[in-house]
Amino acid sequence: PPPPPHSAWPLPTMHITQLNRECLLHLFSFLDKDSRKSLARTCPQLQDVFEDPALWPLLHFRSLTELKKDNFLLSPALRSLSICWYSSRVQVCSIEDWLKSAFQRSICSRHESLVNDFLFQVCDR
């Protein structure tokens, strides 16, 4: 006789928090920083996984606003750090300070301060 249809077989269900820590770390590793933080907010157990230093060996920031977010963790496990941004509105990276407008100088100053503060945090850890 043919096997019964799938609907006749009750499939066991499992909540994500029933997975062991290694599996949860592996799943988190596939998510970007924002998605990790969103998932971590769902329960204390997943927040604990989010805060595991092993999850954070690589950090890549594509904008300076990401440095201000709480969607990443600085830890001793950090092995690679990349901070890159490009603003089409204010193209100032290769312009000498004396050639920049006051607006461009103020933008550069804020960016430099933000990056420096972040790098001091990295060094402290």
CATH class of this structure's domain 15-55? mainly alpha
Do residues 70 and 37 make contact, with C-beta atoms less than 8 angstroms apart? yes
Q: Can you give the three-state secondary structure of 32-49, one letter per residue?
A: CHHHHHHHHCCCHHHHHH
For the chain, give every residue range classified as CATH 1.20.1280: 15-55
pLDDT digits (tens, 9 = 90+) for 5-55: 656 667 788 889 999 999 999 999 999 999 999 999 999 999 999 999 999
This prediction has a pTM of: 0.68
Q: Can you give the three-state secondary structure of 89-113, one letter per residue?
A: CCCCCCCCHHHCCHHHHHHHHHHHH
49 burial via Cβ count (<10 Å: 0-12, 13-18, 19+):
buried
